[in-house]
Amino acid sequence: MRFGSFLSVLVCVGLSVIPLRTAAQTPTAPAAPPAGSVLATDSVDEETAAEPEEPAIPANDEEATVSDETLFHLQIAGDFDVRFNTLGSIPLTPLPREPGTTSLGQNNYVETRLRLRMTGGFPRHHVRLVAQLDVANGVLVGDRAYGVHPAEWRRDSLLGVGGDTVCANELSCERTYSGLRPRWLYAEWQSRVGVLRIGQMGFSWGLGILSNDGDTQPVFGDPRYGDIVERILFAGKPFGAMSPFIVAAAGDIVFNDILANLSDGDLAFQGVLSAFYERDQRKVGFFAAYRTQNNALDEALKVGIFDFHGTWDFTDPSGGRVYAALEAAYIWGTTSIARTATRPVDRVRQSMWALQIGRTSDRFDTVIEAGYTSGDSNIDDGVQRRATMDGDHRIGLIMFPEVIAWESARAAAILSSPNLVGHDARGASLLPTNGGVAGAMYLFPYLIWRPRSFVEARVGAVIARATAPVTDPSQQALYVRSVNYRGGDPMLRDLGLELDASVLMRKSLSRIVDLVWGIEGGVFFPGNAFSDGSGGAMPTIGLARLRAGLHW
């Protein structure tokens, strides 16, 4: 189940405290726009790092350009993006007593998102204020998905005024969705001994497989989630201001992540301790965290996590930068979220890792990523082994973000169907992968080519295999049989091959506003893990997206 995904909130506060480099400055997260990318904005990221001697924790680039004599400064930036999508039909297990629900039901649709960013503060007092807000985030017009409501990004609602309306059933749903989501609002004080940060904030650590702030552009597609906490933290350099060693600690109440939502009555606390070495684009460190959580049904979660991350790079003779980056995490503990009458508590034992090796330059970036998440083929053995990477660490466009995401969400919807039960099945909320890699290993090579400063082309491939037999948990729970999501042989683990490509362009409309547009798409050739009960293969699935946006 999806413990690895919601545990993305257990982040090393080191990078939540130390202002992040943009992807244009570091190869640690090559999934983001590299230097010169047409996706890089001219606006200053509120987390961008510089390295002055004072204070002990580096200040960001924006503050470095503001005089200490300035009483107050304010900068507002934003992105308004529109996506025109054409998606091939994704076959799904029909909902109980609803034979017309044999697919996702969403083929042609338009998405929008307006993200506003505000950075301000009092330079004389080394105080910084940061806010971020999403507006009009969702499906504007077109087909809607149905029968996947347990998913976090469910695409079954149209943008409108107000909240959700009551649906007669999954096919006649007329809910509207405001698309408004407050994300960040926090204050930071930089003193001579360290940084104190208080408020609501997002965060990232390492390659973003476990913790991801949802504010970094992936290689293909768009970020959709982002983990948000109410946090008090402090970070400092115990060996002096010029030391590369940083130690940080924080206490959190989870505002919203893939499992917990404070407004829904989920109360999750966590403590985090981090230590790492960081100099230029080289970093080695870890974080350890403990989380305890209860919900309205008095279901509990108590887990610990250890996450190691390291990245190292050097300049090759031709002037490019060669790097290697690794993140590995292990999660252990107990939970009663998926309890049964005979099994009140499950153990949690999950692991995941990702490794990137690449070379970056002004003209070309060549990267290959390999990753692994532990799998689980039995929901009733008392051990939750399936780990799930954060959904914003996107691997490709279709296999993980679309097909497997919707298959797992449909399984959860079946277990929660009012045609079967009067309430949601325990643990059903843990089943959707929300686009993250779950119970699989993969290779993800890609190439980024920038022939001109305003043009960027990307090509990539995803090859994947399940790390455990592929079983549909709804079929196990309801009919005590082990089959895959299409009723086929669960022992077949080949997930298939995906090919992706994009061409993006950028044009300045004014001194502060840029137009970014282009096209991206992919083709997914499903492996035998998606075969049906008669051995028939799942049809090839394609996706094409027209992209347009204003960045300022």
CA distance 283 to 180: 36
More confident residue, 419 or 9: 419
Q: Average pLDDT of 216-231?
A: 92
Q: Report percent pLDDT > 70 for the chain.
A: 83
Give 438's pLDDT tier (boundaries 50, 70, 90).
very high
97-118 tens-digit pLDDT: 888 899 999 999 999 999 999 9
Task: Average the pLDDT over 447-451 and give the result.
Answer: 97
The pLDDT assigned to 153 comes to 86
Contact 123, 109 (CB under 8 A): no
Measured in whole angstroms, how far is the alpha carbon of residue 102 from the centre of its chain? 28
**pLDDT score for 417:** 82
For 500-527, what is each residue's pLDDT tens digit? 999 999 999 999 999 999 999 999 999 9
| Residue 255, Cβ density class (10 Å: 0-12 exposed, 13-18 middle, ≥19 buried) | buried
Q: Is the pLDDT of residue 227 over 90?
A: no
Q: How many domains does the chain have?
A: 1
The C-alpha atoms of residue 201 and residue 435 are separated, in whole angstroms, by 22
pLDDT, mean over the chain? 85
CB neighbour list of residue 175: distance below 8 Å, 6 or more residues apart: 156, 157, 158, 164, 165, 166, 167
Alpha-carbon radius of gyration of the chain: 23
Residue 44 pLDDT class (50, 70, 90 cuts): very low
Greater confidence (2 vs 148) lies with 148
pLDDT of residue 459: 98
Q: What is the pLDDT of residue 523?
A: 98
Give which of 248, 311, 313, 314 is closest to 284, Cα–Cα.
Answer: 311
Q: How many CB atoms lie within 10 A of CB 242?
A: 9
Looking at residue 341, its pLDDT comes to 72
Between 303 and 15, whose confidence is greater? 303
pLDDT at residue number 5: 38
pLDDT confidence of residue 99: 84
Give SS3 for 335. strand
Query: Does the pLDDT value for residue 440 go beyond 50?
Result: yes
Residue 50 confidence (pLDDT) above 50: no
SS3 501: strand
Question: How confident is residue 47, by pLDDT bands cut at 50, 70 and 90?
Answer: very low
Distance CA 230, CA 185 (A): 9
Global confidence as pTM: 0.86
- Residue 427's pLDDT is 77
> Within 10 A of 387 (CB to CB), how many other CB atoms are there?
33
CATH code at position 389: 2.40.160.100
Cβ burial, residue 52 (10 Å; 0-12/13-18/19+): exposed
pLDDT over 90 at 283, yes or no:
yes
Please report, in angstroms and rounded to a whole number, the separation of the first and last CA atoms in the chain: 40
DSSP code, position 428: G
Instruction: Determine the structural domain holding residue 130 and report its residue range.
Output: 3-551
What pLDDT does 163 receive?
Answer: 44
Q: How confident is the model at residue 22 (pLDDT cuts 50, 70, 90)?
A: very low
* Residues contacting residue 150 through CB under 8 Å, at least 6 positions apart: 409, 412, 413, 416, 428, 429, 431, 432
Q: What gap in Å lies between CA 330 and CA 308, rounded to an integer?
A: 9
> What pLDDT does 67 receive?
59
Half-sphere exposure of 235 (CA within 13 A, CB side): 32
Residues ≥6 apart with Cβ < 8 Å to 210? 4, 7, 8, 10, 11, 305, 307, 327, 329, 352, 389, 390
H or E element in which residue 494 lies: strand 494-508
What does the DSSP 8-state code read for residue 281? T
1-5, 386-390, 544-548: range with lowest mean pLDDT: 1-5
Give 363-402 as a DSSP string: SEEEEEEEEEE---S-TTSSEE---B--TTS--TTTIIII
Q: What is the pLDDT of residue 152?
A: 87
Quick one: 12 exposed, middle or buried, by C-beta within 10 A (0-12, 13-18, 19+)?
Answer: buried
Confidence of residue 65 (pLDDT cuts 50, 70, 90): low
For the segment 226-230, the average pLDDT, to the nearest whole number, is 91
Per-residue confidence (pLDDT) for residue 260, from 0 to 100: 82
Torsion-angle region of residue 454: left (phi > 0), alpha (psi -120 to 50) or beta?
alpha
Lowest mean pLDDT among 14-28, 108-122, 408-422: 14-28
Encoding tokens for residue 305?
Answer: 């996590």
Alpha helices in 282-420 (DSSP H): 405-415
pLDDT at 177: 59
Mean pLDDT (whole number) for 430-439:
94
Q: What is the mean pLDDT of residues 39-68?
A: 40
Residue whose entry in the numeric block shows the structure tokens 């090759």: 316
- Residue 422 CA, chain-centre distance (Å), reads 32
Q: Can you give the pLDDT at residue 69? A: 66
Residue with tokens 């492996």: 527
| Lowest model confidence (mean pLDDT) among 52-66, 214-228, 319-333, 511-525 | 52-66
- At 138-192, the pLDDT tens digits run 999 999 999 998 898 889 888 864 444 444 444 444 445 567 888 999 999 999 8
Determine the Cα–Cα distance for residues 51 and 122; give it in Å rounded to an integer: 19
